[in-house]
Amino acid sequence: MRFDILTLFPDMFSSPFRESIIGRAIEKGLIEVRTINIRDFALDKHRVVDDTPYGGGQGMVMKVEPIARAIEWVKSQNPSAWTVHLTPQGKPFNQELASSLSSRPHLILLCGRYEGVDERVRELFVDEEISIGDYVLTGGELAAMVLIDVVARLLPGVLGSDRSAAEDSFFNSLLEYPQYTRPLDFRGKCVPEVLLSGNHAAIALWRRKEALRRTLTRRPDLLARANLSEEDRRLMEEILQERETDKGGDGA
What positions carry a catalytic annotation? Answer: 88, 115, 153, 168
Could you give the 3-state DSSP secondary structure of residue 219? coil
Residues 6 or more apart whose Cβ sits within 8 Å of residue 190: 184
**Measured on CA atoms in the order 169, 172, 178, 182, is the torsion positive or negative?**
negative
Task: Please answer whether residues 77 and 130 qualify as being in contact, where contact means their C-beta atoms are separated by less than 8 angstroms.
Answer: no
Q: Please give the angle made by the CA atoms of 135, 139 and 168, to the nearest 5 degrees.
A: 60
62: β partners: 50, 117
- DSSP character for 117? B
Residue 1's nearest CA partner among 85, 125, 117, 101 is: 101
Side chain identity at residue 99, one-letter code:
S
Residue 112's nearest CA partner among 69, 63, 65, 73 is: 63
- DSSP character for 72? H
- Cα end-to-end distance, the chain, whole Å: 59
H or E stretch at 127 = none
- Please give the distance of CA 128 from its chain centroid, rounded to a whole number: 15
